[in-house]
Amino acid sequence: MIFQKMVAGFRLFFLLCASAIASAQTESPVIVGKNDWLFVRYGMVHESLQSEVLATIELIKKTNRMLQKANVRLVVLTAPLKMEIYSEYLPDGFEVSRYMKGFNDATLARLSEGGVAVIDLKKTLRQAALENPETLLFYKLDTHWTHSGTYIAAQTVHQGLSTDPGLKKVYEAIPAVPYTLTWDKKMYVQSKIRDIVNLLPTGSPAYAPERTKKFSVVRSRDAVSENVKVATQGGELVLAGSSVSGDWLGFPGALRFALQRNVSNFSINADAGPWGVLRAYLQNNDFQTKRPSLILWEIPGQTFELGPNYQFRLERYKTHPQLWLLQIAALTETVCDPVSVKIQVRVGTGFPTGQEPANSKRIDLEIQFDKPLNSSMYLRANAVTKGTQQITVEAWSKQQLKNRMNVDVDTDGIDHALRIPIGVGIKEISQLKVTGISAMSDVQICRYSENWLAR
């Protein structure tokens, strides 16, 4: 699966963020705190970017409504900022802004007021950090949380699902699966998870490897380790998140134990952003063929400032917010409201403009229509891809290119659901050109059930 291959650390993501929001060009990205604690400057939020945060909240609210129409419940988990949980270890004179101190509560409140279910992880993690300072919930030398941190976060998720009447009904209807959790007797010497150390300037002091606790989670009925891919994909309960939700940090396993349910994990490196993560899961066959009852969408706090079109994100994940919204709408529509149009699919004459790969054997398809299409419509089909992790779809009108979109896909050579918007604010589209597809079937043009771009 492309999801598991892309699970990785935050390194690239933080480097990208540094280019945009570091407070000064000459300032080190690392904040050296007390007692060997290291923090990163881009692990912060900024009042100057509040308009971007509000835009993010609006996108999440509309996404939530889309999923509700598909009978899927969404729960947002905001992964707290490290310096929020361990602010006492920041260096003397370093001030956390009033805006940042209230960011988590204000963001969750706005989401909740907009009808989005949220679970507050910050409160319980901060309380645990104060009550038991010897048990580290975050690595001192890394941006990620420890197994102890993920354990507490998972217990918090369980409490949140159990105390909200609506969520409890959905959660308890998911078949139970018995899991056990066992803490290792020995402390684990962690010599690799230290991404902040890698950002220190040359000549900085050396830091010894950290020692932390780890646990293992097994499925009780057959005692198979969760590290050997116990959880099947396409389940009733799904975790979609950043690298902090990766199996290597223990969060998915801790959730399986806390919830006593199978949790399918779809986590992608944070350089994809929460937008790339959710889009990748929704277009996957595991969602398209077996929609879950519940999605836990883990979003790092600082990424609320970075929309789908964040300028320093990799091009493959960068999308205009309105186009992203139409993509999600197309992926969550349960049935096609067909548009009366004749469709002809044929092998194309060449690759889309500017997309000619050297020595490529990929087949280029052209889809022509006898009536013009517009932004209220989307393409619905099944497609087979081979040898590529991304396809390109271009919308043309009277020999003019009007829109181009890249979509990540699996490369397993089997049929996959394809749901592609025609574009944003365009009309008179007479042709689509597709690169990276070796076969296409069941092609339809459908109309959105709602105008999702309206305020």
CA distance 125 to 302: 17
User: What's the mean per-residue pLDDT of the chain?
Assistant: 86
The answer, yes or no, to whether residue 63 has pLDDT greater than 90, is yes
pLDDT in tens, 163-187: 999 999 999 999 999 999 999 999 9
Instruction: Judge residue 344's burial from the number of C-beta atoms within 10 Å of its C-beta, 0-12 exposed, 13-18 middle, 19 or more buried.
Output: exposed
**Quick one: DSSP state of residue 437?**
-
CA distance 46 to 102: 11
List helix spans (H) across 295-425.
321-332
Higher pLDDT, 157 or 193: 157
Domains of the chain (ranges; CATH) run: 2-332 (no CATH), 343-447 (2.60.120.260)
Report residue 347: phi and psi, to 5°: -65, 130
* Mean pLDDT score, 36-59: 93
Contact indicator for 336, 444 with CB cutoff of 8 Å: yes
* Mean pLDDT score, 274-292: 90
pLDDT in tens, 324-366: 999 999 999 999 999 999 999 988 765 444 555 444 445 578 9
Look up tokens 């000619």; give the residue.
Answer: 356
* Residue 16 pLDDT grade (very low, low, confident, very high; cuts 50, 70, 90): very low
User: Rg (Cα) of the chain, in Å, rounded?
Assistant: 23
Question: Poorest-confidence range of 110-119, 157-166, 344-353, 411-420?
Answer: 344-353
Bridge partners of residue 211, in order along the sequence: 189
Give the pLDDT of residue 3: 38
Higher pLDDT, 121 or 413: 121
pLDDT in tens, 189-244: 888 889 999 999 988 999 999 999 999 999 986 544 444 344 444 579 999 999 89
End-to-end CA distance of the chain: 36
DSSP, collapsed to helix, strand or coil, labels residue 277 as helix
CA distance 61 to 74: 10
Residue 105 CA, distance from chain mean position: 21
CA distance 5 to 3: 5
Distances 185 to 224, 258, 320 between C-alpha atoms, Å: 19, 20, 49
Contact indicator for 339, 377 with CB cutoff of 8 Å: yes
Give the pLDDT of residue 151: 98
- Ranked by mean pLDDT, the top range of 7-16, 292-301, 402-411 is 292-301
Which amino acid, 145? W
Helix (H) or strand (E) holding 100: helix 98-101
Give the pLDDT of residue 413: 67
